[in-house]
Amino acid sequence: MRTTVEIPDDLFREVKARAARKGTTLKDYIVEALSRRVGGERESADRVELPLFGAKDDSSLEVTNETIRRIEEEEEEADARRFA
């Protein structure tokens, strides 16, 4: 379905830039974000960009899908507050 939505200029630029960094179209990025926001299943496997850092000792860091989802949700909430 086609629809028209007014989006603040700064939010539009940020979303467009994120889509480009992710290597996807603006449309696909918005559809994915809306699907996640309403609790839908993800349409494709996500790649998450995590910062690289060195461990201070020989311990390893375990990152689970749940941890990644929580971080993504926190970032989305922060973005929503920033552009509200």
Q: pLDDT tens for residues 44-64?
A: 455 666 676 666 665 666 778
Burial state string for 47-61 with b = 16 or more CB within 10 A and e = fewer than 16: eeeeeeeeeeeeeee
pTM of the model: 0.46
Provide the pLDDT for residue 26. Answer: 93
Give the Cα separation of 9 and 14 in Å (integer): 9
- For the chain, residues with pLDDT lower than 50 are 43-44
CA dihedral (79, 15, 13, 74) in degrees, to 10, reads 10
Q: What is the pLDDT of residue 2?
A: 87
Instruction: Check residue 36 and give its pLDDT.
Output: 82
Helices (H) and strands (E) in the chain, counts: 3, 0
